[in-house]
Chain A
Amino acid sequence: MTVQGESADHQWVDDHAGPVVRPYAVTRGRARPVTGTFDLISLVTATQAEVTPEVGLGPEHLAIVGLCQRIQSVAEIAAHLDLPVGTIRVLLGDLAARSLVQVREPQTTAGLPDNSIFEAVINGLRAL
């Protein structure tokens, strides 16, 4: 994404043209989420089928809830909404603070109890 020109009169364009708003406008100037860290592969799922618009939730928040009816990683949400990861983290923090999404942080290798995950991945890859 590039910093847009100084022209104030943005033209209305559709999704295919990419975001028309600067990333920090979407988050109202915030660079950090109110809660959570959100690794690129943290998995997110919506806790509700849909969310009614309310104060503090923008269209991007609602889009995330729509997208996360299926389990998505933070990286996938950013790619599908065509917004930078940092922006998505802030929006996810808002949603997590309202319990509108459930988040699972990834496990670290050191924390794995045994080799079962390695074996599952090896077998799964071979079966592809």
Chain B
Amino acid sequence: MDYGHSDRPAGATPLPTAIKILVAGGFGVGKTTMVGAVSETRPLRTEEVLTESGVGIDDLSGVEGKTTTTVAMDFGRITISDDLVLYLFGTPGQDRFWFVWDELALGAIGAVVLADTRRLADCFPSIDYFEGRGTPFVVAVNCFQDARKYRLDEVQAALNLDPGVPVLLCDARQRESSKEVLVTLMEHAMKTREARRRAASED
């Protein structure tokens, strides 16, 4: 852990803006790998502790014996400039943690859905989720070595995607490839936002 001196005196300058991108997809599809490939540090892990009886009440004394579940999220950071920091969050893979997704997706600028053509159905829940929420997303097909190669239009058709959703191939281990995925996502998110603003002003 680095406790080095800060370049700026604490509290003296305005804090930068933080933005959030999600990396979703099925278990073992390479979410943490992608987060690690582009982050400036190794991926960090944070946990939420969930206690069923903890929902809606303030005092948790006496519930120590209740079952607790922890949901781990891996994330990384890219400092774009002094004013702008980008955080990448890998979403928890299991469907039963949707409520954690809601917190993660709140305010997210966009999402990468990682897909593995050997287990394409694993990314359906992520696609449904982001479509339902209106979160801009791209589908990045992680090219595993032993996977059969499909054309992007075949993947697009198999996923029944809206034609506007970018689909691209990537290697989640490679920094350049993962960067390209994020750039594609940001361009798509920007276009989506402009289209929505235009639609809103025409109403």
- Which of A79, A86, A109, A119 is B49 in contact with, Cβ under 8 Å? A86
Complex CA–CA separation, A78 to B74 (angstroms): 12
CB atoms of B15 and A45 under 8 A apart: yes
Q: Which residues from chain A contact B78 at a C-beta distance below 8 Å?
A: 124-125, 128
Check if B68 is an interface residue, CB within 8 A of chain A. Answer: yes
Check if A91 is an interface residue, CB within 8 A of chain B. Answer: no
Check if B173 is an interface residue, CB within 8 A of chain A. Answer: no
The minimal Cβ–Cβ distance linking B2 to chain A, given in whole angstroms, is: 8
Complex CA–CA separation, A88 to B18 (angstroms): 18
Q: Which residues from chain A contact B64 at a C-beta distance below 8 Å?
A: 3, 22, 24
Write the chain B residue with the least CB distance to A41. B18
Interface residues of B in 1-35 (CB under 8 A from A): 1-6, 10-11, 14-20
Complex CA–CA separation, A49 to B78 (angstroms): 25
Complex CA–CA separation, A102 to B8 (angstroms): 14
* A84-B48, A85-B47 known; A124-B84 Cβ under 8 A: yes
Check if B95 is an interface residue, CB within 8 A of chain A. Answer: no
* A39-B106, A40-B89 known; A120-B179 Cβ under 8 A: no
Complex CA–CA separation, A29 to B61 (angstroms): 6
Check if B60 is an interface residue, CB within 8 A of chain A. Answer: yes
- Which of A69, A85, A109 is B48 in contact with, Cβ under 8 Å? A85
Complex CA–CA separation, A3 to B183 (angstroms): 42
Q: Which residues from chain A contact B14 at a C-beta distance below 8 Å?
A: 104
CB atoms of B15 and A43 under 8 A apart: yes
Can you show 17 pairs from A to B with CB atoms below 8 A apart? A1-B68, A23-B49, A31-B54, A39-B107, A41-B19, A45-B10, A75-B73, A84-B46, A85-B48, A86-B48, A87-B49, A109-B189, A112-B193, A115-B193, A117-B17, A117-B19, A121-B186
Q: Which residues of A contact B (CB under 8 A)?
A: 1-3, 22-24, 29-32, 39-43, 45-49, 66-71, 73, 75-76, 78-80, 84-87, 102, 104, 106-109, 112, 115, 117-122, 124-126, 128
